[in-house]
Copies of this chain bind each other. A is one copy, B any other.
Amino acid sequence: MTVPRIDVVYRLGVAAGQTAHRARLLAIEQSIEMPVEAVGDGRILDDVLARVERIEPQADGSSLACLGLSVESVCEDAGQMMNMLFGNCSLQPDVELVDIEVPPSLAQAFGGPNLGIEGLRRLTAAHNRPLTCSALKPIGSTVSQLAELCRTFAQAGIDVIKDDHGWANQRSAPFAERVAACQREVQDANAAFGRHTVYAPSLYGAQAQMQRQIELARAHGVAAVLVAPLICGVATLHALKREHPELAFIAHPAFGGAGRIAPPVLVGKLFRLFGADAVIFPNHGGRFTYAADVCREIAHNSRAPWHGLRPALPVPAGGMSVERVPEIKREYGVDTMLLIGGSLLIARERLGERCRDFVDSVAAADEVAA
């Protein structure tokens, strides 16, 4: 072992004879993401390219491939860790992430829970038994309805009262008023009954907003919050817990299955709605398996008139080549950006020439659809 590595186990849904090849492609996808033969720097091949450590055939016909990812590529950043673990291969349906192990140094760098089980028990004074928790529902309730519910929960001695994860800043019970009222009920009940119930409001938005929400909540005495790491981004959770070492973070699993949002909606509509000017997607016939009609629908959604929003530029990508430029132009027309990566780099010393072929081929007037 020359450099510390993250061990990742993937399940490969391919026929037995193809596992070694598939694992090798996966190692490339989750690290250098380009043809190995185009990499000139030996250090990158030794230290950065993910390594296939072993392959274990399973009884069900699948195989487990154990890969070693370079720690260096993760940069001690939570989002980047997800990116290296499952960023691109999450788009390949024959791959499942089954397990991970990190070197101790990376575990220390991230740091894990601020309080953990012991700290949560200290907060709630709940020892030698499971803790209890309930949720403030339904969204749409008023602040006084929620406060009453909170009082009932707290008087009954429930340890943790959390906002339903559907709470954000709804006008029926805006965050600031909701948190003030609910926390007051909890504190009153705690004082009256000698209890230690904790209220955990649900954070929403991006990091700066969550930061302000935490400050507001802390000012009222709130000791725990609810976050959905897959919605706010794991880097947001990590940054907030770093900034607030005294606060407990409860993670909600919402949005764990984004793979079942149809790509034309996720990439073509939602990314555009939230402000992407150009949307990259894996074109059919490359390293990914989106069907041709799915790709066309992504492009359609990104450009179609939609409530006056600016059209976003579709960017078919993922294993494209200069040879396919005419076909891609015919398919997507003029309002498109063609993204070619690894297959340019493989030209090595003829890279400039190959790039000019790419540029010329795209500029050629003949094949572009209307």
Contacts and interface: CB of A to CB of B under 8 A. Distances in A.
A72 interface: yes
A230 B258 contact: yes
Interface string A71-89: 0111101111111111111
Interface size classification for chain A: 35 or more
Interface in A332-358: 332-342, 344-345, 351-352, 355-356, 358
A31 B232 CA distance: 19
What are the nearest 4 A-B pairs in CB distance? Answer: A116-B310, A112-B309, A156-B355, A48-B140
Interface in A21-72: 31-34, 39, 41, 43-44, 47-49, 70, 72
Interface in A86-129: 86-93, 95-100, 102, 104, 107-108, 110-120, 128-129
A223 to B, nearest CB: 11
A167 to B, nearest CB: 9
Contacts of A15: none
Kindly name the residue among A129, A228, A230, A281 whose own CB sees the greatest number of chain B CB atoms within 10 A. A230
Given A141-B41, A207-B206, A259-B258, A241 B274 contact: yes
A349 to B, nearest CB: 10
A199 interface: no
Q: How many copies does the complex hold?
A: 2
Contacts of A211: 208
A337 B265 contact: no
A260 B96 contact: yes
A256 interface: yes
A148 B156 CA distance: 67
B130 A336 contact: yes
Contact of A251 (B84, B99, B227, B280): B280
23 contacts: A32-B139, A32-B166, A48-B172, A49-B138, A78-B273, A80-B205, A83-B166, A83-B231, A90-B260, A104-B307, A107-B308, A115-B310, A120-B278, A131-B362, A137-B341, A157-B359, A160-B337, A232-B235, A237-B274, A251-B280, A253-B266, A259-B259, A259-B260
A113 B340 CA distance: 23
